[in-house]
Structure 1
Amino acid sequence: MDNSDAGTRGGQDSVLEVRVTLVDSVPEIWRRFELRGSLTLNQVHQVLQTAFGWEDAHLHRFVTSDPFAPLRPVDGEFPEVPQWLPGQQCEEPGDRSEEDCSLDQLLALGSGKAFYEYDFGDSWLHRLELVSRRPADDESPPARLIDGARRGPLEDSGGFPGYEEIMDALADVSHPDHAEHSAWVADMTGSDAPFDPAFLDVPAVNRTLVEQFRRTQAERKRRK
């Protein structure tokens, strides 16, 4: 499918309700958004970074299917699996620029689903699922977090096995690594306050999103 076939319907922008789940999280870590379908994937990347508390310190990519599912050969050959990356990182034949693809286009290519992987070492895999769509109006913000559960894992915590080990140590003062992990978490968060993995401040996320898009619009005006 060409990008033009998967874009906003009839030239009109849409508001997409999208549920994003951190794959393999137990208890489940998830977010539910209202996002403009015209958002480019690099903009969606920034939204997800903000909503999950990431720091944009690692590589990322978007794909239309689970990148870790076994591939099935077609006519004896394995099909090329496209992935969307920042334009300057596109090097392989299947690499496509995330700046040139909208969220609406990506979800159409994936039949309403897509995946976003952040940090290829810890491999935080997010599943995006289209819940509903409606026409956008002048009052529709580019991105709004509606609901969610639990904060995102800490950067560089070693994937879910490492993050769970850290959380176990924090919760048990008698754990041999309690002091070490407590100091590490305080350094990562910049706070000595108790770390609550269940905490999620939806209004704070939305305030940050508003400010991010305001700055982006201001930068675009300056360039004109």
Structure 2
Amino acid sequence: MNTILYIRLTIDNSNPAIYRDIQVKSQTSLEVMHEIIQATFEWSNLHSHYFKDSTGNIIKDKKGILIGSIITTSGSITYVYDYADSWGVRIEVLEARDIMDENFTPICTDGRRNSPPEESGGIVCYTDTLDMLQLHQNKEWRYPLIAEWLGEDYNPETFNMEAINSRLQNIII
């Protein structure tokens, strides 16, 4: 029997919240959890990362630590990605259930808002960028370099669960 954790991943200080609800086995290593978070937020694993436990201690050996052994339904841990931009992702268990399926793979079941692009400067710069675009949305000149960087069709409110689940299927557990 396997225990499945229903987890919410929320980008720290995002307002409105940018989050993903995922399901993973409690036996998932932090090393694989890193890959799951990268896929879930559409990041490309270009930077270093670390995990912090609920007391703020940095977890150094990710290979030997299982997500189910360091987090409970009443606590959370933090994933920090890109030391310069310092993306913080709060990982909290919403629920745990036992299942019989031995072949269970990670899945995203819900979420809100588009992922901030890689290299977008952390939550403060990303939010400032969106504010600038919103402020000038009705003007002919809309910060063309920012629009080019985000992509002409980038919508911060879009959430594509199908694309996320497609990426999650490619993770080797």
TM class, shorter-length: 0.7 to 0.9
Question: 1:177-196, aligned counterparts within 5 Å?
Answer: 178-186=143-151, 193-196=152-155
CA-to-aligned-CA distance 1:164-217 (integer Å, 9 cap, x gap): 22223333253866112112223xxxxxx421011111122112211x13xx36
Equivalent position to 1:207, from 147, 166, 170: 166
- Mapped partners of 2:37, 2:113: distance in 1: 14
Structure 1 pair 111/27, CA: closer, same or farther in 2 (3 Å)? closer
- Mapped partners of 1:112, 1:42: distance in 2: 20
DSSP-derived class of the 1:138 partner: coil
Equivalent position to 2:25, from 11, 32, 36: 36
Percentage identity across paired residues of the two chains: 26
Q: AA paired with 1:64? A: D
- Mapped partners of 1:106, 1:127: distance in 2: 14
- Max Rg structure: 1
CA-to-aligned-CA distance 1:142-166 (integer Å, 9 cap, x gap): 3111100011211221222211222
Structure 2 residue ranges without an equivalent (≥5): none
Question: 1:1-224, aligned counterparts within 5 Å?
Answer: 12-65=1-54, 67=56, 81=57, 83-84=58-59, 96-108=60-72, 112-138=75-101, 141-171=104-134, 172-173=136-137, 174=139, 178-186=143-151, 193-210=152-169, 212-213=170-171, 216=172
Note the aligned Cα RMSD (angstroms). 2.2
Specify which structure has the higher proportion of strand.
2
Specify which structure has the higher proportion of helix.
1
Q: By how many angstroms is 1:99 displaced?
A: 0.8
- Mapped partners of 1:118, 1:142: distance in 2: 23
Moved over 6 A (4+): none
TM-score, structure 1 normalization: 0.69
Q: By how many angstroms is 1:141 displaced?
A: 2.1
- Mapped partners of 1:58, 1:142: distance in 2: 25
**Which of the pair has the greater relative contact order for Cα pairs under 8 Å at 6+ separation?**
2
